[in-house]
Structure 1
Amino acid sequence: MGRAAAADVIEKMKSLLKEKETIRMVFASAPSQNEFLETLKNASGIDWERVTVFHMDEYIGLKPKSEQSFSKFLCDRLFDGVEPGKIHLINGLNNAANECQVYSELLNEAPIDIVCLGIGENGHIAFNDPPVADFNDPEKIKMVMLDEVSRQQQVNDEVFPHLDDVPTHALTLTIPALMSGSHLYCIVPGLTKREAVRKTLTGLISEIIPASILRRHPDCTLYLDKDSYNE
């Protein structure tokens, strides 16, 4: 599944790089993305020097080199291996308001071409959990308090040993920022995601299931396995 998603993303990257001098991409940080990122890292024929990369969320209070940091996750699994032309990382140690302003300005410099994302157990995309999700959010990035279901998922994913170890706040790209990408590739494996996937595909389009908004995107591809979708 991750390999299939990577094959499609690679094809799209190569196609866009024939049309444009540079492309801009946003990546998710989660174990669900591992196969996808590994395949992308080992792909040949991509001129990564012409690619600008972003990531979609980061914990507040973690050092960028912390083992649980999302920026470190992506650097270890992709960025350090392919060396994109520009890497824009969210720094969770900076003043949150200032970091949001700086990152928003970077996002606004040009349109986002490709967004590679997942869906959380509570239906979140990035860290837009149901209590804070806003389909009409005026911001590009914001500070949020994390839903306990979302924090527990980090324990389930073995990112943190205990719930109390998971930070309570994060910076996240907003739903409009994610939806602004021209091409979305959503990778969702695992039995723990099955209910969220079902509601995403068949429920009301509502902030109660933030990922449901993906049904309104003109070019979003969803990649599932037999655990996350079995109907």
Structure 2
Amino acid sequence: MPNPPDPARVRVLADRAALGRTAAAVVAMALRTRLAEKPRVRTVFAAAPSQLELLDALVREPGIDWTRVDAFHMDEYLDLPPQAPQRFGNWLRAAFFDRVPLGSVHLIQPGADAQRTVDEYAGALAAAPIDLVCLGIGVNGHVAFNDPPVAELHDPADVKVVELDVVCRRQQVDDGCFDALEQVPRRAITLTVPRLLAADELFCVVPGSHKSRAVREALTGPLGMHCPATALRTHPNCTFFLDRESAAGLPPALLPVG
């Protein structure tokens, strides 16, 4: 079993607002550093209410040449109308993509042929290395839409169609994205776990008491598909940003001193 993450890679903040500001400052510094070293930076973003504070604070970070940042996202529902506000591409446009002058935005846009969408998005991702990924952890331990029943930690694919776990679908209702479970699509397109881990640096932002069990398992439990987020511990450059509520179940050795 991989060791728990280096405590220096676990940041615990007082609340969601502080979590968002701190994570945004670290992500912004990584963007500035990379933009000083290379002409373009390719970044993948998660779409979820848990990421709102990060994205809102990142918009306000100074000194980032967004025109040289190429943006992707990590998952998208199937079987929703193109203009549905629950579509993750639409959500990210409103929350972030349309608020900064990004060089390019690559949306997962499901059409009549889901496999064609998968193949095209995989090709866009593979065109050059991914520098940064901003992601979260679901209540069932998922990353992107890699739920425990379908996650493959050594998946040969980069992007694929998946069936969503009922716990994952229930989370979308609890987060206020849908009014009822029946409205939540059963299928989605997702980047796979290996595709996410292929990025050079990961920033995992996880607030809230409802995530504390998943956080504890992800950071201290055995590696495996029962909690896909455990795979994040195998990445040499992944930083976890938590608040006091989401970190409540962690052992003292992983908590900041003082």
Counterpart AA for 2:207:
P
Q: For 1:81, what is the secondary structure of its paired residue?
A: coil
Q: Contact (CA 8 Å) 2:45, 2:135: kept in 1 or not? A: yes
Q: Please state if 1:182 is matched with 2:203.
A: no
Aligned to 1:207: 225
Q: Contact (CA 8 Å) 1:186, 1:222: kept in 2 or not? A: yes
Once the two structures are superposed, what CA deviation does each residue of 1:60-114 show, in whole Å capped at 9, x if it has no partner? 0223321111001110011101021110000133411000110010000000000
Q: In the alignment, which of 126, 136, 148 is matched to residue 118 of structure 1?
A: 136
**Equivalent residues in 2 for 1:18-167, closer than 5 Å:** 18-167=36-185
Larger Cα Rg: Structure 1 or Structure 2?
2
Q: Contact (CA 8 Å) 1:29, 1:73: kept in 2 or not? A: yes
Counterpart AA for 2:201:
H
| Cα drift, residue 177 of structure 1 | 0.6
Aligned to 1:17: 35
Q: CA separation in 2, counterparts of 1:42 and 1:72?
A: 21
| Cα drift, residue 201 of structure 1 | 1.0
Q: Contact (CA 8 Å) 1:152, 1:163: kept in 2 or not? A: yes
Q: CA separation in 2, counterparts of 1:18 and 1:64?
A: 37
Q: For 1:82, what is the secondary structure of its paired residue?
A: coil
Q: For 2:182, what is the secondary structure of its paired residue?
A: helix
Q: CA separation in 1, counterparts of 2:244 and 2:146?
A: 26
Counterpart AA for 2:40:
T
Q: For 1:171, what is the secondary structure of its paired residue?
A: strand
Unaligned ranges ≥5, structure 1: none
Q: Please state if 1:169 is matched with 2:173.
A: no
Q: CA separation in 2, counterparts of 1:110 and 1:122?
A: 31
Once the two structures are superposed, what CA deviation does each residue of 1:88-147 show, in whole Å capped at 9, x if it has no partner? 000133411000110010000000000000000000000000011011111111000000
Q: Contact (CA 8 Å) 2:111, 2:117: kept in 1 or not? A: no
Counterpart AA for 2:90:
K
Aligned to 2:244: 226
| Cα drift, residue 45 of structure 1 | 1.2
Q: Contact (CA 8 Å) 1:140, 1:177: kept in 2 or not? A: yes
Once the two structures are superposed, what CA deviation does each residue of 1:149-202 show, in whole Å capped at 9, x if it has no partner? 000000000000000000000000000110011010000001110000010111
**TM-score relative to the length of structure 1:** 0.98
Per chain length, whose mean CA-contact separation is higher, i.e. which structure has more relative contact order (CA < 8 Å, sep 6+)?
A: 2
CA 1:86–1:149: 2 relative to 1, 3 Å: same
